[in-house]
Structure 1
Amino acid sequence: MRMRKKRRRSNHTDPTTRHRSTDTPAKIDRNVVLLGWVSYFTDMASAMVNPILPIFVVAALHEGVDKLGIIVAVATFVSYALRLVSGYISDRFGIVKPLVVGGYALSAISKPMIGMTHGYKSVASLKALERLGKALRSAPKDVMIAEYSHKNASGKTFGFHKTLDIAGELSGTLLLFGFLLCFGVSEGVMRTIFLATIVPGLIGFVLVAFFVKDVKKRPEREGVKFRLTKRDKNAVKQLFFYFLFIFFMFSEAFFTMQAKNVGIAVMLIPLLFVVSTGMQTLTSYLLGVWVDRIGAARVLWLGYLCGVTAQLLLWFEKSWLTWLAYAFLGLFTVATLNANRAFIAASSDNRGSVYGVFYGGVALFGALGAYVCGMLWEHFGMQSALLFSLGGTLALWLFFSLTIMGGRYGYA
C-alpha cells in the first residue's frame, strides 16, 4: 500500500513510474528506427565473433582461461570506461553524431582483423579497439534515442531499439551456426568467419553516416560552465547497485566455457546464443513498456532474479539446464539494460554524462569481476568461480528485495 502511494506522489516528476493506459500510443521516430537497423547490422557482426572467440582463444591459440579472463577484462574496461568521456563531450560541446559515426567505423574495421591474430595479446588489443568504438558511440547514441523519444515513452523507445539490436545478434548467431554446420569447426573456418564480419559492419556504418539525422545542439550550453546537476548526481548514486551486481555476474564468455565443459558441442554453442538473443528479442519491447507502466525498480528486480537463476542452473552442470540458463541470461540482460537506460532518460538533465557514468561503472566493475572469475576458474576450478558469482548476486538480490523494493530506498 505504501509503495502504491509513493508512486502516485512521484507521478509528476518520474515518467518511468507513470501508467500510460489513457495515453495515445506514439509512433517511433524515424531516426530511432534507423539507429535500430544500424545496431542490427553491427550486432550481427558481433554475434558472428563472440560465441566462438573463447573457443578460438583457448583451443586454437592454446591460451589458458586466465588469459581469456584478461581479454574479457580489457575489452570490458575499454568498452565502458571511455563512454564516460564520450558522454561528457556530447553534453559539454554538443558533439553527438560524429562520435556515433566514428564509433561504428572503429567497430567495423577491428572485428575482421581478429582473423589474422596469433596470440592472446593481439586478440585483446583488437577487442579493445572494437570496444573503443562501442565506447565512443554508446552514450551519444543513447542521447540521440532519448532526444527522439516521445514524452513519457522512453521505456518503449529504448525497448524498440533494443529489439532490433538483439534481432541483429540473433541473425548473426544463426549465420554463424550455418557456417559451422556447413564447413565444420576448425581454426581456418573461425578465421574466415571473423573476416566476413566486414560486410554487416560496413552496412551499419553507411546507414548511420548518411541516413541518421544529428540532434540539435542546445544553445544554452554554449559558454556555460558544465556541471552535473542535483538530479544527475542522484541518478548516478542509484546506479551503483547495478555496478555491484555486474561485478559478481558471470560474463558471457564464462557461460560459453561452462557449456563446453558440460559436453555441449562447439558447433551447437551458437544455438545457445540464439536462445539468449531470441528471448531478448521477444521480451525487449514488452519490458520497455513495463518500465513506463510499473517503474524501473520492479523491472530491475525481475532482471536480477533472472541473473541469479541463470547462474544457479549452471551450478548443476547439466547440459539441458545450461540451455535454460542462457534463456534467463537473456532476460537478465534485456530487463536491466532497458530499465536503467529509461531511468537515466527520465531522471537526469545531462543525459550524455550520466549514460557515460553508467557505462563507466559497468566497465570498472565488469572488468574486475571478469578478471577475478578468470583467476578463480584457472586456479581453483569452475565451481569456485561460479560459487563466487552466484553467492554475490544472490546476496545482492535479497538486499534489493528487502530495501529498494520494500520502499526504504526509492530507486526511481
Structure 2
Amino acid sequence: PAPTAAPPEFLLNAPGTWNLPMRTALASLPRSVWLLGLVSFFNDTAGELIYPILPLYLASVLMAGPRVLGLIEGIAEATGSLLKLASGIGADRMRRSKPWIVAGYAVAGLSRPLLALAASWPVVLVLRFADRIGKGLRSAPRDALLGASVPAHQRGLAYGLHRACDNAGSVVGPLLAAALLARQTPLDQIFWWASVGSVLAVLLTLLIKEEPAPPRPSAPRPDWRPGALPPAFRRYLVVLGVFTLGNASNMFLLLKAKDAGMADYQIPLLWAVVSLVAAVFAAPLSALSDRVGRRRLISLGWAVYALFYLLLGLAGEGWMMWALFGFYGLFMAATEGAEKALVADLLPREQLGTGFGWFHLVSGLSLLPASLLFGSLWEAWSPLAAFGSSAALALLALVLLRRWVGLPAQDGR
C-alpha cells in the first residue's frame, strides 16, 4: 500500500532547474519507473522518426488531403482507445500489468516498418490501426503500474519523468528523420529505420519486475462500468472529453507549418523543438503539481494551449513557427504528467487499470470527431476557423475543470 507520510518539501527554483533536492527525488524513484521511462524513450524515438514524415508521405506520395489525414488518425486513435479500456480492466482482474505492456510494445514495433510497403492511404490506415492496437494494449496497464509504484506525493514526479523520457525520444526521432531527409533518403526507407528503436523497447520491457499485488480479500471482481467509479473521476472524464474534442491530431500542426512555407526537412526539426521543450520541463512542472495542486497546473496548461492554437491559426509566416511550437511544448510539459497523476489521485489502487482505461478511452474516442471536425473546418472554411474552435473548447474545459470537478482533499486547488 502507498505510504501515508506527509510529502517532503522539494525545492523547485524554476521549471527546468535540476537542483540537488530534485536529483535526490529522482534517485528515490523505483527501478520500474526508470525502466518504463527508457522503454518509452526508445519506442518514441522509433515512433517519432515516422510521425513527422507521415503527413508528407500521405500528401506527396499517396496524394491524400487533410480530411483523409483526420480520418486515419481519428479511426486509429479511437480504436486503440477501446483496447486501452479492455487492457486496463484485464490488468486489474489479472492483477498483473507486465504481460500487457510487453505485448503492446511488440505489436506496435512490428507494424511501423511495414509502412514502407504501403501503396495507398487505406494501407496506411490499416498499419496505423495496428500501431494503435499496440498502444491500446500497453497504455492503461503501464500507467497503472506507474501509479502503483510510488506514493501519492511522488506521482507527479513519476509521471513527469516518464513523460520527459517519452519526449526525449520525440526529440531524437525527428532529428534522425531530418538528417535522413537532408541526405535525400527515400521516405519508404526511413520507415525501416524505425525498427531499431522498437526492438530495443521490447527487450527492455522484459526486464521490468512487477511487484506482486497485495492479497485481495473475498471482494467482488473489479467493476468496469462508469457507475462503479468515483463521482469526481466521472466528472473529470467529461471535462477531459470536452477538451479533447478540440484537440485534433498533432499532424494538423505540422500540416499548418508546411502550408506556412517551411521546407520538408524543417518539419521534423520543428517537432523536435516541441519535444525538447516538453522533455526539459516535464519532470519539474509535473513535480510542481505535487505541491500546488493538479487542477491549478492543468488549468494553466490548457490556457497556454488555447493561446497557442489561436496564434497558430493567425500565423502565416514560417519563421513564426519556431517560437509557437516551443510554446506548445510548455503546454505538453504542464499537462501530460499532471493529468495522469490526477487520475491516480481520484481512484483507489484496485481500480487504477480500469480508471486509466476509461481515461484513455475518452481521450481516444473524442479524437475521432475532433480530427474529422478540424479537417472539415479547415477545408470548408479556413485553418483559422479550425484552430479557433479548438481554442474555444479548451477554454470551456478549463472553466468546467475549475468549477465542476471535485478534487481530493489533499489537492483541492
Same fold (TM over 0.5): yes
Which segment drifts farther, 135-144 or 23-32?
23-32
Letter in 1 for 2:58: V
SS of aligned partner of 2:199: helix
Correspondence 1:176-215 to 2 at 5 A: 176-183=177-184, 189-209=186-206, 211-215=207-211
* Deviation of 1:87 (Å): 0.6
Aligned equivalent of 1:388: 389
Aligned equivalent of 2:173: 172
The answer on whether the counterparts of 2:96 and 2:210 sit within 8 Å (CA) in structure 1 is no
* Deviation of 1:250 (Å): 4.1
Correspondence 1:6-405 to 2 at 5 A: 20-21=9-10, 25=25, 27-183=28-184, 189-209=186-206, 211-220=207-216, 224-227=220-223, 232-316=230-314, 317-349=316-348, 350-397=351-398, 400=401
* Deviation of 1:391 (Å): 2.9
SS of aligned partner of 2:222: coil
Cα displacement string for residues 313-353 of structure 1 (whole angstroms, at most 9, x for unaligned residues): 21222323322221222222232221111112222111111
* Deviation of 1:58 (Å): 1.5
Aligned residues: 392
d(CA) in 2 for partners of 1:19, 1:212: 27
* Deviation of 1:205 (Å): 0.3
Which segment drifts farther, 306-315 or 382-391?
382-391
* Deviation of 1:97 (Å): 0.7
Mark the CA change 1:404 to 1:224 in structure 2 (over 3 Å): closer, same or farther: closer
Which segment drifts farther, 101-110 or 160-169?
160-169
Identity %: 28
d(CA) in 2 for partners of 1:74, 1:330: 25
The answer on whether the counterparts of 1:19 and 1:294 sit within 8 Å (CA) in structure 2 is no
The answer on whether the counterparts of 2:67 and 2:376 sit within 8 Å (CA) in structure 1 is yes
d(CA) in 1 for partners of 2:121, 2:178: 24
Mark the CA change 1:87 to 1:232 in structure 2 (over 3 Å): closer, same or farther: farther
Cα displacement string for residues 79-116 of structure 1 (whole angstroms, at most 9, x for unaligned residues): 32321111111112223111100000001110111111
Mark the CA change 1:340 to 1:14 in structure 2 (over 3 Å): closer, same or farther: farther
d(CA) in 1 for partners of 2:47, 2:372: 22
SS of aligned partner of 1:265: coil
Cα displacement string for residues 255-294 of structure 1 (whole angstroms, at most 9, x for unaligned residues): 0110011101111001111110011011011112111011
SS of aligned partner of 1:51: helix
Letter in 1 for 2:81: Y
Aligned equivalent of 1:3: none
Aligned equivalent of 1:9: none
Letter in 1 for 2:366: F
Aligned equivalent of 1:8: none
The answer on whether the counterparts of 1:97 and 1:215 sit within 8 Å (CA) in structure 2 is no
d(CA) in 1 for partners of 2:89, 2:336: 20
The answer on whether the counterparts of 1:311 and 1:325 sit within 8 Å (CA) in structure 2 is no
d(CA) in 1 for partners of 2:327, 2:181: 25
d(CA) in 1 for partners of 2:311, 2:169: 26
* Deviation of 1:241 (Å): 1.2
Mark the CA change 1:332 to 1:243 in structure 2 (over 3 Å): closer, same or farther: farther
d(CA) in 1 for partners of 2:218, 2:368: 36
Q: CA RMSD in A?
A: 2.7
TM-score by length of 2: 0.88
TM-score by length of 1: 0.88
Letter in 2 for 1:147: A
The answer on whether the counterparts of 2:80 and 2:136 sit within 8 Å (CA) in structure 1 is yes
SS of aligned partner of 1:263: coil
Aligned equivalent of 2:15: none
Mark the CA change 1:125 to 1:331 in structure 2 (over 3 Å): closer, same or farther: same
Letter in 1 for 2:193: A
d(CA) in 1 for partners of 2:217, 2:191: 43
The answer on whether the counterparts of 2:182 and 2:265 sit within 8 Å (CA) in structure 1 is yes
SS of aligned partner of 1:197: helix
Mark the CA change 1:21 to 1:272 in structure 2 (over 3 Å): closer, same or farther: closer
d(CA) in 2 for partners of 1:134, 1:168: 16
The answer on whether the counterparts of 2:101 and 2:141 sit within 8 Å (CA) in structure 1 is yes
Letter in 2 for 1:216: P
Letter in 1 for 2:257: A
The answer on whether the counterparts of 1:299 and 1:339 sit within 8 Å (CA) in structure 2 is yes
Mark the CA change 1:14 to 1:142 in structure 2 (over 3 Å): closer, same or farther: farther
SS of aligned partner of 1:234: helix
The answer on whether the counterparts of 2:106 and 2:134 sit within 8 Å (CA) in structure 1 is yes
Cα displacement string for residues 46-72 of structure 1 (whole angstroms, at most 9, x for unaligned residues): 110110101111111011221111011
Gaps of 5+ in 1: 1-11
Which segment drifts farther, 39-48 or 27-36?
27-36
